[in-house]
Amino acid sequence: MADEGEELWPPFYLSGRIDSPREQRIQGRVQEIKEHGRRAPGRVRALSRDEIVRTAIAVADAEGPEAISMRRIAQVLKAGTMSLYWHVTNKEQLLDLMLDALLADIKVPEPSGDWRTDLQTLARNERTTLLRHNWIMGFLGGRPAMGPNTLLHLDRSLALLDGLDLDFAAAVDILGLIQTYVMGAVLREMREQRIQRDQEQHPIAPEDWEPARQAWRDRLAADGRFSRVVKFLDEGIDPDAEETRDQRFEFGLDCVLDGIAARVPPKSPGA
């Protein structure tokens, strides 16, 4: 979990990050107290790193990532801001811990011997977590730190491909492809959800929309260059329909897995 020992994090993962003057002052004060061997105040001892991280995740879920600050988390915990610095170095480390904790929430299936089914399950679980905590999309890929949960997720995911005759680079590429597909699909779903919310907040009556839509369709048809678009409109297809999101995700995932299957070498005789 989020309170795993620092020894499992990669070296220098906090290097190069510049703390604010205020954070530097607080960190200096906490370090001074620790060096003098004084015990942390009672409320500080009552807090845990895991509690801080889970609270920060809840704040991000409810208020967005821009709400994440040491002061805001301390407010929710009804604790002094300085007490958080006994457990977390700064906001940057807190963000790393939050992302690492959420990786633990993505269940990696036990290898079944059917790599395709296992990767399907993994992709679905990743999609569920990313949609539940969609603010995470703004940070994935942009933060190089790999905490213990991230590493364990990678190790277990690689195990799903153990039965194939693949070198490690190919296995990592396959997992990267699955994750790239899932992230792209989630980004599209997030966009669809924003449009849906806007439409619900500013609805247009069918009696206003349909005549305008038909006139637009007729203009496109008269132009002569948009025959396929006109056919698309005539079919009444909504590519962003809420009720087809799962179906569209599964279709794309099947296409990705078909492509992987075409590149996976056949098992050696007797394997």
Q: What pLDDT, on the 0 to 100 scale, is given for residue 9?
A: 77
Average of per-residue pLDDT across 24-37:
54
Q: What is the dihedral of CA 135, 137, 138, 143, to 10 degrees?
A: 120
Kindly indicate the confidence band of residue 32, based on its pLDDT and cuts at 50, 70 and 90: low
Q: What pLDDT, on the 0 to 100 scale, is given for residue 27?
A: 55
If one counts every other C-beta atom within 10 angstroms of the C-beta of residue 59, the result is 19
Kindly indicate the confidence band of residue 161, based on its pLDDT and cuts at 50, 70 and 90: very high
Q: What pLDDT, on the 0 to 100 scale, is given for residue 102?
A: 94
Top-confidence residue, 19 or 222:
222
Q: What pLDDT, on the 0 to 100 scale, is given for residue 270?
A: 56
Average of per-residue pLDDT across 207-219:
94
**pLDDT tens digits, one per residue of 106-150:** 999 999 999 999 999 999 999 999 999 999 998 887 665 688 999
From 60, 153, 154, 148, select the one nearest 97 (Cα to Cα).
148
Amino acid sitting at position 232: F
Measured CA distances, 184 to 38, 123, 126, 130, 249 (Å)? 50, 12, 12, 11, 10
Reading the block at residue 266, the tokens are 């056949």
Q: What pLDDT, on the 0 to 100 scale, is given for residue 126?
A: 97
**pLDDT tens digits, one per residue of 239-261:** 999 999 999 999 999 999 999 99
Determine the angle formed by the axes of helices 91-105 and 49-63, rounding to 10 degrees. Answer: 90
The pTM for the full model equals: 0.83
Phi, psi of 192 (to 5 degrees): -60, -40
Q: What pLDDT, on the 0 to 100 scale, is given for residue 30?
A: 52
Q: What pLDDT, on the 0 to 100 scale, is given for residue 2?
A: 41
Q: What pLDDT, on the 0 to 100 scale, is given for residue 58?
A: 97
Kindly indicate the confidence band of residue 35, based on its pLDDT and cuts at 50, 70 and 90: low
Do residues 49 and 73 lie in contact, with contact meaning Cβ atoms separated by under 8 Å?
A: no
**pLDDT tens digits, one per residue of 64-112:** 999 999 999 999 999 888 889 888 988 888 999 999 999 999 999 999 9
Top-confidence residue, 12 or 252:
252
Query: What are the CB-based long-range contacts (under 8 Å, 24+) for 151-160?
Result: 151/8, 152/103, 152/104, 153/103, 153/104, 153/106, 153/108, 156/108, 157/108, 157/122, 159/108, 159/111, 160/108, 160/109, 160/111, 160/115, 160/118, 160/119, 160/122
Q: What pLDDT, on the 0 to 100 scale, is given for residue 6?
A: 73
Q: What pLDDT, on the 0 to 100 scale, is given for residue 47?
A: 87
From 69, 107, 75, select the one nearest 88 (Cα to Cα).
69
Query: What are the CB-based long-range contacts (under 8 Å, 24+) for 78-82?
Result: 79/43, 79/44, 79/47, 80/43, 81/26, 82/26, 82/29, 82/30
Residue 43, pLDDT above cutoff 80: no
Residue 23, pLDDT above cutoff 80: no
Q: What pLDDT, on the 0 to 100 scale, is given for residue 74?
A: 93
Average of per-residue pLDDT across 51-59:
96
